Chains A and B, each alone.
Chain A
């Protein structure tokens, strides 16, 4: 189904368990709402640097745990030595990880990526569509308390000493964890692809009569329909 606009999206709700199978992934449509139960591992540049640049052996057997990753790190307290309690989680912007996410999908079987802001249409077309993978956006984006409630425990934490709390790889036990919005479905369709068209249309007339600045900067974007990444 190709919807007319974002206001036509049904926003159907799905409750899935991890690892999320190809049939479940195939059912998700852009704008749908997803809740997850099972295991999710966190990863951002610290983890990717270790895995893909330093080529360190993975600290856990990722494919046997889950196929869901989350671009985030938690606000987490150590209640007793080695006993962690997650207070809140929120995503960090995903476009910065476009180089490494395809590697994570190809080498570690990741098929569901949770993050912020989505990724570029090229990555969706080239990798998500090829693998039937789905990108979920967190909502808001700063609704960390709500997501924190969905985290029931910390299964394990890896490379904590080297990377620190904010970059370590956390394996989180989650239940009714969400809501997340389907940003890219298994066919490579993007919710932001649809949304940006709608808002650009409204933005353009506001620029009428507003001149370019007298001092330009090299590399600066002057077309408001362009994006910053």
Chain B
């Protein structure tokens, strides 16, 4: 346990980091995604699917070589902050949120990002990706730490998500059917912009279920398995089932374009088994930084969002 109070993280630094995370996320594909799509491109034997996969891999390289966004739909930039229980921010969390908004507006202008955020009814666009309830900042906490992890995710999002209230009687077959239905809906014609990482939320309340599916798709790296062996086994089963659909990139025939399946569970009502599914496209834009109390910043690709404490794996 720390006995002295940690130094405070400065809002000016958070603003710089928010800008830099937006820049890194927009341009450089994380290596876990690049590696798995390159491997898929090598294995693919169908002509059209292989052509598309090779273009996708080539595009990742062009984005880095030219330092331009990998996809013009730079999504809706949003943030995940994992804050050490002993961390302090100068000016408090209101200062953090202001810094994140400023960093996002600046990134939109300078990188540039496409200003996608509009009022839902009037469609007014202030050309800066900032607005009502936006960008969202989601928080989680970490015991025994004085740093703060900040993850920026630029989330596309018209297609590839769904929610279904299943019941215990629907069981695993019900989950599998729903999983196939969402692939049938959104992999055809490539609406999900697959190859995709599929996130599945099982349980919780409706809002928690949907949140978990999105976080599972966006904040866990390819190859990561849920620590619960039963959940990990279902992840592998669904991954195998996805590959068999033969809905490849753009919906052309090929190996089913599921890069990985990540499942998160939450305790739920005794009568129900809500399930949410989320497809994250191949233009996966995320970047993370650990901001230390002393002002040092370490950038990395893996958000490490799902910690034992975050999942509340133990009761205490």
Contact = CB atoms under 8 A, between A and B. Distances in A.
Interface of A: 6-7, 9, 11, 31, 33, 46, 72-78, 87-90, 92-93, 116-118, 137, 139-149, 163-167, 179, 181, 192, 195-196, 198-199, 202-203, 206-207, 209-215, 221, 224, 227-228
B69 interface: yes
B178 interface: yes
Nearest to A207: B180
Given A77-B109, A88-B68, 20 more contacts: A75-B74, A77-B110, A77-B112, A87-B69, A141-B193, A142-B156, A144-B71, A144-B283, A145-B63, A163-B125, A164-B127, A166-B116, A167-B123, A179-B55, A181-B48, A192-B189, A198-B246, A202-B245, A202-B253, A206-B180
Contacts of A164: 115, 118, 123-127
Given A198-B253, A199-B247, A166 B177 contact: no
The secondary structure that dominates the A interface is mixed
Interface in B107-147: 109-116, 118, 123-127
A205 to B, nearest CB: 9
Interface of B: 46-48, 51-52, 55-56, 58-59, 62-63, 66, 68-74, 109-116, 118, 123-127, 156, 158-159, 164-167, 169-170, 173-174, 176-178, 180-181, 184-186, 188-191, 193, 241, 244-247, 249-253, 281-283
A2 to B, nearest CB: 17
Contacts of A142: 56, 59, 70-71, 73, 156, 193, 281-283
Contact of B47 (A7, A196, A209, A221): A7
A213 to B, nearest CB: 6
B47 A6 contact: yes
A145 B167 contact: no
10 contacts: A87-B72, A117-B191, A145-B68, A148-B72, A149-B68, A167-B123, A206-B245, A207-B177, A213-B177, A228-B185
A191 B191 CA distance: 15
B71 A199 contact: no
A199 B184 CA distance: 10
A87 B63 CA distance: 9
A189 B165 CA distance: 40
B112 A148 contact: no
Contact of A73 (B46, B72, B186): B72
B180 A224 contact: yes
B252 A144 contact: no
A180 to B, nearest CB: 11
A213 B186 CA distance: 19
A144 B70 contact: yes
A140 B72 contact: no
Nearest to B185: A228
B62 A149 contact: yes
B189 A166 contact: no
Contacts of B189: 117-118, 192, 196, 227
- Smallest CB-CB A-B distances: 6 pairs: A164-B125, A142-B283, A143-B59, A145-B63, A77-B112, A142-B71
Contact of A140 (B112, B169, B176, B282): B282
A6 B252 contact: yes
Contacts of B68: 75, 87-88, 144-145, 148-149
Count chain A CB atoms within 10 A of each CB in B173, B189, B283 and give the residue with the most: B189
A221 B177 CA distance: 13
A197 B159 CA distance: 22
A79 to B, nearest CB: 10
B173 A211 contact: yes
Nearest to B184: A224
Contact of A210 (B165, B177, B253): B177
Contacts of B184: 203, 224
Contacts of B176: 210
Contacts of A147: 72
Contact of A196 (B46, B180, B185, B188): B188
B245 A166 contact: no
A28 B203 CA distance: 50
Nearest to A223: B184
Contacts of A207: 177, 180
Contacts of B47: 6-7, 9, 11
